[in-house]
Chains A and B, each alone.
Chain A
Amino acid sequence: MKRRIAIAAVLVVLVAAGAVFAEVCLSPYVKRLAGPEKFLYISAVDADGRDNDFLAVVDVSLPSPTYGRVVNTLSLGSAGNEPHHMGWSDDRTKIWVGTLLSKKLFIVDVAADPSRPTIVKTIEDISAVTGLHGPHTYYALPGRMLLTFLSSADGNPPGGMAEFTNDGELVRVIKNPADSPYAYDVAVKPDVNRMITSSFTPLRNYRKPLPQWDMKDGGNTLLVWDFKERKVIQTLTTDPVPLEVRWSVRPGKAHGWTNSALGDSIWFFAQGKDGKFATKKVADLGKGCLPADLRQSPDDRYLYVSCFMKSEIQAWDVSTPDRPRLHDTVVAGVSPNMMHVTGDGKRMYVTNSLLSTMDYSEKFWVRLVHIGPDGRLKVDPFFDVDFTKFPSGAARAHDMLLN
């Protein structure tokens, strides 16, 4: 009876809490949006590297007269930084934006006026602070931000992670182990106390034009960490360059997926009954896909893959998690890259710049793909934000956050 009372209480609390919009690509510690998105923030690299990089604000509030337009830009104050990924603070008041070719890191306030972000702190030399270079993933922890870094301060492996307070003070640095020195993404599954990190390539490689890259200078491992202990407990192997780490969103489930960029594949990772994790290749994305991003639907049913080289977005049905089935494909434009699925799972915003050293199209844009109740994808013919016509010229649109 007591157990029933407790369950009833939890249900009452959940009902009382009302609907929230869970963007499953975000850290579970980030506050959820209480309604549909109004603004889309986009990290933008000046395409020819001569003008200042910036953060673009696109109005995505459907009733707004400026819907689908860039309504503001926030200059990052200099050129050639390659602002790349971004992340919300846990209370969703600030955005952290880092750079891959310079050493800057910006903390941007969007609480005072969501349409007019302002820089509240700039760390000019993040390498001097951390001994690392190339902040990549910004993963909110309660009151803190966990960052992955692609390289050490000299641009070589090992990469690692650094943890900061929300106001940008360093808490600790954790370097990758010598036998698995490459770093990229991180994702935490708090209810199973596990964290997984993935592996890309360091600055010494990615700063060169793509044809000059050493394709062997990259990782093929996932590291499984005891999250509370911040300790590596297992090294898993995949095809080369596993990028995004996506845990199943179901409570208590200790499995997920990653996209191998050079293997053109999806890999499944899962914890067995003995507590140990194992990986296996579960989907072949087609030769030459170069899966640059991997996203999920909020109901844990679909994975979305952007094939950067094949200019296609694929939806995979993962109702059976270790047996994905190709469900649909759509062409949003040339070289789709980052995707951002809304909390209700009905819309997906898409950009098409990966990295200035890797881009092969000069037509940069942000587009919208609608996701039907049947999981089918359809490009919105009216939503097309042109990123080639800023006063400073074209800009490479990369990562996105919604507010």
Chain B
Amino acid sequence: MDRRQLGALAAALLVGAAPAAWGHQPSPAASPGGRLTTAPSLAVIRPAPDFALPDVAGADVKLSGLRGSIVLLSFIYTSCTAACPLLTQRMAVLQGRLTEARLLPGEVTLLSVTVDPERDSAAVLARYAQAFTASPRGWRFLRSEPDRLGPVLARYDEWTKRLPNGDIDHPARLYLIDRAGRIREIYSLGLFDERQAFLDIQALLREPR
């Protein structure tokens, strides 16, 4: 079994497990040992660079057009065999929690941008989104040709490097963007905890508009 098949298997297994994971879980609260907190200190890191990229249906999504809602922005690619499938599964769990809390769609939007437009056609990305039961209105998967995507990736310092085995090396980050379009938290893909991200989003929602 090669790495790509392993990745596909992992994604399939994660997809199978994901609905159970978000089905009937209570919304997270501060944990007794302090592992989760309801009062995160979310400093303004910098303005989120604006962009407009098409989703899998071809409709342009402009980041600044989402002002007024909170955005969680990730950079992924569908044939990734490392952190991406786990991350997307966690985002699926987060989507479930946000949906139960009636925050998605509406108050919160999830965006996943592929860094591999050559292999991730709109159809491939749409299937990936469907596999993770992404809500078409609340969790948008974005893709464009390299000439349009490149400057967006550069503004987020999201360099890419194709490895000999076909994988793509890229910084493993997610961006939490507040209603005013400012980056307020950056998560690591590998250490992303969707329970704390939910609490971070709630903290931003408590801020005055």
Q: Judging by beta carbons under 8 Å apart, are A141 and B82 in contact?
A: no
Q: Judging by beta carbons under 8 Å apart, are B34 and A8 in contact?
A: no
Stretch with Cβ within 8 A of B (4 or more), from A54-62, A177-185, A228-236: A228-236
- Closest residue of chain B to A12, judged by CB? B10
Task: Kindly state whether residue B124 has any CB partner on chain A within 8 Å.
Answer: no
With both chains docked as a complex, state the minimum distance between the C-beta of B97 and any C-beta of chain A, in angstroms. 16
In this complex, how many residues of chain B approach chain A with their Cβ under 8 Å: the count is 43
Residues of A within 8 A of B187 (CB): 142
A143-B157, A229-B37 known; A15 vs B6 contact (CB < 8 Å): yes
Task: Kindly state whether residue B9 has any CB partner on chain A within 8 Å.
Answer: yes
Residues of A within 8 A of B208 (CB): none
Which residues from 161 to 181 on chain B have a C-beta closer than 8 Å to any C-beta of chain A? 171-175
Which residues from 238 to 283 on chain A have a C-beta closer than 8 Å to any C-beta of chain B? 254, 271, 275
Task: Kindly state whether residue B17 has any CB partner on chain A within 8 Å.
Answer: yes
Task: Kindly state whether residue B135 has any CB partner on chain A within 8 Å.
Answer: no
In this complex, how many residues of chain A approach chain B with their Cβ under 8 Å: the count is 45
Instruction: Identify B35's interface contact among A28, A142, A191, CB under 8 A.
Output: A191
Residues of A within 8 A of B89 (CB): 9
Q: Judging by beta carbons under 8 Å apart, are A191 and B191 in contact?
A: yes
Task: Kindly state whether residue B154 has any CB partner on chain A within 8 Å.
Answer: no
Could you tell me the distance between the alpha carbons of A5 and B171 in the complex, rounded to whole angstroms? 28
Instruction: Identify B34's interface contact among A141, A172, A193, CB under 8 A.
Output: A193
Q: Judging by beta carbons under 8 Å apart, are A141 and B186 in contact?
A: yes
Could you tell me the distance between the alpha carbons of A271 and B31 in the complex, rounded to whole angstroms? 14
Stretch with Cβ within 8 A of A (4 or more), from B38-46, B59-67, B99-107: B38-46
Could you tell me the distance between the alpha carbons of A29 and B35 in the complex, rounded to whole angstroms? 17
Q: Judging by beta carbons under 8 Å apart, are B34 and A233 in contact?
A: yes
Q: Judging by beta carbons under 8 Å apart, are B82 and A13 in contact?
A: yes
Task: Kindly state whether residue B13 has any CB partner on chain A within 8 Å.
Answer: yes
- Closest residue of chain A to B43, judged by CB? A172
Residues of B within 8 A of A111 (CB): 159
Q: Judging by beta carbons under 8 Å apart, are B3 and A16 in contact?
A: yes
Could you tell me the distance between the alpha carbons of A285 and B90 in the complex, rounded to whole angstroms? 45
A16-B6, A90-B171, A228-B37 known; A144 vs B45 contact (CB < 8 Å): yes
Task: Kindly state whether residue A166 has any CB partner on chain B within 8 Å.
Answer: yes
Could you tell me the distance between the alpha carbons of A13 and B17 in the complex, rounded to whole angstroms? 14
Residues of A within 8 A of B21 (CB): 2, 6
Q: Judging by beta carbons under 8 Å apart, are A193 and B3 in contact?
A: no
With both chains docked as a complex, state the minimum distance between the C-beta of B165 and any C-beta of chain A, in angstroms. 9
- 11 A-B residue pairings within 8 Å (CB atoms): A16-B6, A16-B82, A90-B173, A141-B186, A142-B186, A163-B43, A169-B46, A171-B46, A226-B34, A229-B39, A229-B41
- Since A6-B14, A13-B86, A31-B172 are in contact, a sample of 20 more A-B pairs with Cβ atoms closer than 8 Å, ordered by chain A residue number, is A2-B17, A5-B13, A5-B16, A6-B17, A9-B16, A15-B6, A91-B159, A91-B171, A93-B159, A111-B159, A141-B186, A142-B188, A143-B171, A171-B46, A191-B191, A193-B36, A230-B41, A254-B33, A271-B33, A275-B32
